[in-house]
Amino acid sequence: MSEGLNNPIADSILKKRKKERPFDIRGAYFRDQTAIIHSMGFRRLKNKTQVFYSPQNDHICTRIEHVLHVSTIASSICKGLHLNIELAQAIALGHDIGHAPFGHAGEAKLDELMIQHNAGHFYHEVNSLRVLDYLDNYGKGLNLTYAVRDGIISHCGENFEQYVEICSEKKKLGQIENRNTNPVTYEGAVVRLADKIAYLGRDIEDAIVAGLIKDSDVPKKVRTLLGKKNGEIIDTLVKDVIEHSRVKGKIGLSSEKYELMVKLKDFNYKCIYKHPRTIKMNQEAQNIIEELFNGLLEKIKLYGLQTDCYDKDKNLAVKTFGRFILKRINLYREELKKLQLSVPSESFMVRVLTDYISGMTDSYVIKQLRLLKPELKADIAPIF
């Protein structure tokens, strides 16, 4: 741990779990890394979109590649600042485990659907904690440390900030429902910044391959001062974070590099994320999610948590949804009990359905919709 960057909360609290575990030779945070890597949710990240849906192209960034990028970038920064690398890696590996299929387009659609049904919001960082605490391991969760759980739910933030401030008080993580929360560790702050560093240059690489932009389209000042290639951009920003954080005593960027990073982000939004081809791809993805959501919502309104009813349904997609519920039935019954509900409310059923769809890979969403509504011939035209 760096002399100037000491976490405000005691180490004993940061390493606390919901259920105590016996001594483990791996240590607290490396154990969390391995638990995440071996989880079903982590495995599915390899078939979830980062930005571009392109299942036939082996070199386009997927969600699993992104979390590995974040992990290595965060590790480099932590090494330079003498922070806990294993903690940062665990946070990074788990930070997007609850992300929706089809990237942020999928997240936006699930959020919209939840709002429509008065079921709250869908934020992927909040859902990542739900997956790791409850949904994975068939409703048992992974029993991670407080520090890792906090870093995951706090990794996003509402703004593209120059500095990531540290929260000095322990939070009730299970009660967080918005993005207005800061991490309690410097390692969590590093991951939050590394997440942004990881995607900016990488998305440009994919956009060039897709023919959306040319490398010469990237602002000249960015190419000159940050770098022309993704590796150069990462190297420049990582070095700046290390040097500047040492001086300032908090995790952040120099004003010069921060302004360049914002300039690059604005370019990406205008020329990549808002490109007509990207918008078309995202709309097709959102239509598929909405069709599947509405079709299965009819079934859960009819069957509730009576899993035998799903099993008797003739449609395979409905049967599969029922099996998902059955494997987590104890979790859902416990949640009903806490809400003092004898039968599921509509908002509760929407939450269950969102649990199901948010965990799907891109291809699995398409497969389930084809089974549920074969007449639709559901598909998405890859951007490549």
Question: What is the distance between the alpha carbons of residues 83 and 250, in angstroms, rounded to a whole number?
Answer: 12
Nearest to 91 by CA among 188, 15, 198: 188
Q: Which amino acid would we find at residue 62?
A: T
DSSP 228-283: SSHHHHHHHHHHHHHHHHHHHSSEE--HHHHHHHHHHHHHHIIIIITSHHHHHHHH
Q: Which amino acid would we find at residue 313?
A: D
Note whether 168 and 8 are within 8 A (CB).
Answer: yes
pLDDT of the chain along its 384 residues, tens only?
445 799 999 999 999 999 999 989 999 999 999 999 999 999 999 999 999 998 888 889 999 999 999 999 999 999 999 999 999 999 999 999 999 999 999 999 999 999 999 999 999 999 999 999 999 999 999 999 999 999 999 998 667 899 999 999 999 999 998 888 999 999 999 999 999 999 999 999 999 999 999 999 999 999 999 999 999 999 999 999 999 999 999 999 999 999 999 999 999 999 999 999 999 999 999 999 999 999 999 999 999 999 999 999 999 999 999 999 999 999 999 999 999 999 999 999 999 999 999 999 999 999 999 999 999 888 887 776
Superfamily of domain 11-273: Hypothetical protein af1432 (1.10.3210.10)
**Residue 306, helix vs strand vs coil:** coil
| Encoded tokens for 200 | 């900016």
Give the rounded distance of the alpha carbon of 303 from its chain centre. 30
Domain residue spans of the chain: 11-273, 276-376
pLDDT at 49: 95
Backbone phi and psi for residue 94, each to the nearest 5 degrees, phi listed first:
-100, -5
pLDDT at 1: 46
Q: What separation in angstroms does the CA of 82 have from each of 6, 7, 79, 150, 270?
A: 10, 12, 5, 20, 37
Note whether 208 and 239 are within 8 A (CB).
Answer: no
| Encoded tokens for 43 | 């495995």
pLDDT at 3: 52
β-pairing, 251-252 vs 163-164, is antiparallel
pLDDT at 319: 99
Note whether 358 and 122 are within 8 A (CB).
Answer: yes
